[in-house]
Structure 1
Amino acid sequence: MEWREFAEAMARLARDLLAQQTVQGTLDEIATSAVKLVEGCDAAGILAVHKGRAVTLSKCGDMVEESDRIQAELGEGPCFDLARRAGSELFYRIADMTRPRDDWPRFAEAARTLGIGSMTGVLLYAQDEDFGALNLYARRPGTFTKDMETAGLLLASHASVALADARTIDQLEHAMESRHAIGEAMGILMERHRLSEDEAFDALRRISQHHNIKLRDVAQRVRSTHPPEP
């Protein structure tokens, strides 16, 4: 793909990412677009590590989830190295995964078994011990050249902005849903038990604290056990 075509594709991708309605939709669009836009890319995925637990957030291709699982199980591999060097490097490119490696020999051997010929990846975010990375895979060694490195960085820059935006929107929607649920539950208690607004909220809060349950979950239980009267 010529750079002009790639730039046009990036513009379309930006619109598509912003059009997604959910965080998962955004993640899936990023992974799918990586395979479409980066020449020679056979699979792509987004790996996140949170509190020591590795999770494949999205994948496009067969080898992604198994590669993530093996890196997490072994505690070694390009994604983990990239996260450890987050202050100095944001990108990795491995031209040939079919050769033995001294830095992570066990993962390299497993990658060959999976049919991974070359890999490249970009750090999307890093915070304390948590990180997220976009990883691209090819079955053929030598697929990811310097030009592909630039393409990957451009793709990741779009992905990072869209992902941050999607996460913010998701948090806001979650907060609005929580507020709506709590408001409905308070209304039910006020009507059924002749409570004031403050008394109804205090009742929900006491249940939440006593049972160590989130206030939103208490409200949901009140709503489900007290359906509207006909």
Structure 2
Amino acid sequence: MVSSDPESRHELAVRMAELARHIAAPRSVDDVLSDVTAAAVQLIPGADVAGVLLVKQGGEFESVADTDSLAAQLDKLQHDFGEGPCADAALKQTIVRSDDMRDEPRWPRYAPAAVEHGVLSSLSFKLYTADRTAGALNLFSFKVGAWDADAETIGSVFAAHAAAAILAGRHGEQMQAALTTRDRIGQAKGIIMERYGVDDVRAFEMLRALSQESQTKLAEIAQRVIETRGDD
């Protein structure tokens, strides 16, 4: 837990620096998010369980980096009921806080179910992923009135780290896809150059013409050319 004393603030600063290095390092998004949720439980007063909820296009829920399977169970309840703090944070509000689930009018079905699982307080933070996937970092407590201003401030910083990890992962995936597409087009150009005796520029023009005529992505046309290599 982090309090306002200098030693605790130093511990928080050290952990934040570690998380920043982890995001920059070549690690998987799941690993970085797991570090974020584990640090959140360790450093945020009142947090007993943490997890990340991703809401994809079409409304599909995905629970990741849970410190306890309870987080995924609570996400499923929110999906089934169509209400809850994590979904609200991911899709609507920036911070969603509940200090007592036993007297929570916003989620008439979810709140009693959460209490049955021992959860009495929750704190959720929107993840700004600049992507089609919405997300939230979610904290759960087995105590009433678990949160204060420090919890919201520290949680917001952790949420920024989580969002950065997701963005870094998406960028890596896009870069890999771009490299794969480039290699595929290069192979297809080589096949056309050899087969028809044309130069590099003409081979690319032929690929592009086929793409435009068939209204098919250039990478897909290139893959089809590669698949015909054995037909010579």
SS at match of 2:219: helix
In the superposition, the TM-score normalised over structure 1's length comes to: 0.76
Q: 1:18 aligns with which of 18, 24, 32?
A: 24
User: Which of 197, 202, 207 matches 2:200?
Assistant: 197
Superposition map of 1:1-230 within 5 A: 1=2, 2-56=8-62, 58-60=64-66, 61-83=68-90, 85-86=92-93, 90-97=94-101, 99-125=102-128, 131-192=134-195, 194-198=197-201, 200-201=203-204, 204=207, 214-220=217-223, 222-223=225-226, 226=229
More moved, 195-204 vs 19-28: 195-204
Structure (1 or 2) with the larger CA radius of gyration = 2
Q: Residue deviations 1:171-221, cap 9 Å, x none?
A: 233222221222123223433454543554456557667877644355446
1:95: Cα distance to partner?
A: 2.1
Displacement of 1:222 in angstroms is 4.9
Structure 1 SS opposite 2:105: coil
Percent of aligned positions that are identical: 37
Q: Give ranges in structure 1 of 5+ residues lacking alignment.
A: none
Q: Kindly state the Cα deviation for residue 105 of structure 1 after the two structures are TM-superposed.
A: 0.9
* In structure 1, C-alpha distance between the alignment counterparts of 2:96 and 2:223, rounded to whole Å: 46
Q: CA deviation at 1:106?
A: 0.9
CA distance in 2, matches of 1:29, 1:45: 11
> In structure 1, how many angstroms separate the alpha carbons of the residues matched to 2:211 and 2:157?
46
Query: How far off is 1:164 after superposition?
Result: 2.9
Q: Choose between structure 1 and 2: higher strand proportion.
A: 1
Work out the CA distance in 2 between the residues paired with 1:188 and 1:19: 38
State the alpha-carbon separation in 2 of the partners of residues 207 and 73 from structure 1. Answer: 47
User: C-alpha deviations, 1:55-111, integer Å up to 9, x for none?
Assistant: 32522220222222222232211133335644xxx21222222x0432111111222
Q: Is the 8 A contact 2:121 2:145 kept in 1?
A: yes
**In structure 2, how many angstroms separate the alpha carbons of the residues matched to 1:24 and 1:225?**
38
3-state DSSP of counterpart to 1:105: coil
Deviation at 1:150, TM superposition (A): 1.8
Between 184-193 and 7-16, the greater mean CA deviation after superposition: 184-193
C-alpha separation between the residues in 1 aligned to 2:63 and 2:211? 31
Q: Do the aligned residues in 1 keep the contact of 2:23 with 2:164 (CA within 8 Å)? A: no
Aligned residues: 223
